[in-house]
Amino acid sequence: MKTMLAWCLLAGFTLAGELPTSPSGEGGAAKVEEVSQTAVQAAFQILRSEYIRGGDLTFDELNRAAFQGLLERLDLGAELMRKADAERPMLRRGILAEMLTPEIAYLRPLAFAEEEAGQMAVHLKKQVEAKVPYLILDLRSAVPPGDFAVAAAMLELFVPRAELLFKLKQVGREDAQLFIANRGPIWTQPLVVLVDGETCNLGETMAAVLRERKQALIIGSKTRGATVRYETLPLDAEWVLRFARAEMLLAGDRALFRVGLVPDFLLDLPVPVKRQIFDAAGPVKESLFDRNRLRYNEAALIARKNPELDAYIRRSAGEELSDDRPVLRDIVLQRAVDMLSSRTHLQGSALKWPTGQKRLEPAAPAEVKKAQPVKP
């Protein structure tokens, strides 16, 4: 009986949470939080005996309802997965590196795999040797949760030696695992980091540490707050349970789990658009800069070609041209490039902005002398 009541208590959060929203705006979930365990147990006893389909509330049904309700309440803390999905390897691995402009480098880890930290170090060294002044680190890759040792290895490329990166606090243990930078940084120039709601636990950790240290400017949309280490255990031959086992803490013991990271500049890019851009095989620049449509100009006249006429003939034949397809633009990356390009332009202009408090008074008009009559 106690086991049944316990399962009913858990299941009650789900079933009672489906109550309609009250006029005051509080939903059923808020009502469930306010009732006592005695009230929840009494409600299930009534439903088992008086509900018009009480026979459907079998022990198996209550167990499944309790499990479903528990997963919904834990949210990012636990996830039911098929074993095949949990063991599926990442198809794309490595670091996507590209020069967006002569002054701006771009890096994006594709899988946050162990070998990618070393690959990132190689790219950063090349950019430092080339004296590239700016770097955009894109952490928006939608990948499964990873090992925090990888996040520490990537952060070491930016954080000074012997500095505390973050802590990992495991349930049931008083002490926390400390991750400390063991090497000197490679990149010490201005850094912009891109994040969104699909940023994985390692990407969130890296962005949070860099902003906590005031080493990076964060652009994008709010992250989920999945800054935990997950463990996966089998339930049967087909299903596994992935759940949070340890929590990441920043240097001041501040946690981000289920809180997330709010960027310095909020800018939302729809997830389907971002995925189409990331899945494209072309360079990153194609989603960044606009291309001019070919026109009939002096160069075409000399070459004895008319691109506008050629395009009209091909469209008339039912052929779809590249100019007719909708253009996908990564507006988050565009704004990051605009900000860094503006900084470069202002620094190169050598402008002298007025900084003093003294205001310049307008000069007094010169006196106009009246013309004297000329004596005859």
Does residue 16 or residue 361 have the better pLDDT?
A: 361
Q: Are 300 and 306 in contact (CB under 8 A)?
A: yes
Reported as a pLDDT band with limits 50, 70 and 90, residue 216 is very high
Reported as a pLDDT band with limits 50, 70 and 90, residue 99 is very high
Say whether 180 sits in a helix, a strand or coil.
strand
Is the per-residue pLDDT at 8 higher than 50? no
- Burial class for 226, CB neighbours closer than 10 Å (0-12, 13-18, 19+): buried
- Please give the pLDDT value at position 175: 87
The HSE-up count of residue 256 (CA atoms within 13 Å, CB side) is: 30
Reported as a pLDDT band with limits 50, 70 and 90, residue 298 is low
Cα–Cα distance list, 305 to 53, 311, 313, 341 (Å): 77, 11, 13, 36
What stretches of the chain adopt beta strand conformation (E)? 78-82, 95-101, 104-109, 134-138, 164-170, 177-180, 191-195, 217-220, 228-234, 239-249, 265-266
Our separate counts of H helices and E strands in the chain read 12, 11
0.85 exceeded by the pTM? no
Is the per-residue pLDDT at 128 higher than 80? yes
Q: Where are the domains of the chain?
A: 2-76, 95-272, 279-347
The 8-class DSSP code of residue 219 comes to: E
Q: Are 344 and 103 in contact (CB under 8 A)?
A: yes
Alpha carbons 269 and 328: distance in angstroms, whole number: 11
Reported as a pLDDT band with limits 50, 70 and 90, residue 222 is very high
Enumerate residues 6+ apart whose C-beta is below 8 A from 207.
139, 193, 195, 199, 216, 218, 223, 261
Q: Are 119 and 96 in contact (CB under 8 A)?
A: no
- Please give the pLDDT value at position 4: 42
Alpha carbons 249 and 227: distance in angstroms, whole number: 8
Q: pLDDT tens across 239-257, in order?
A: 999 999 999 999 888 999 9
Alpha carbons 157 and 118: distance in angstroms, whole number: 10
Among the residue ranges 183-187, 213-217, 265-269, 356-360, the one predicted with the least confidence is: 356-360
DSSP-assigned letters across all residues of 274-321: HHHHHH-SS-GGGGTS--PPP---HHHHHTT--HHHHHHHHHHTTPPP
Under CATH, domain 95-272 is a member of which superfamily? 2-enoyl-CoA Hydratase; Chain A, domain 1 (3.90.226.10)
Does residue 5 or residue 267 have the better pLDDT?
A: 267
Mean pLDDT of 321-328: 64
Mean pLDDT of 62-88: 88
Q: Are 101 and 46 in contact (CB under 8 A)?
A: no
Alpha carbons 193 and 197: distance in angstroms, whole number: 14
Closest CA relative to residue 199, chosen from 264, 155, 260, 142: 142
Alpha carbons 46 and 12: distance in angstroms, whole number: 12
Reported as a pLDDT band with limits 50, 70 and 90, residue 359 is low
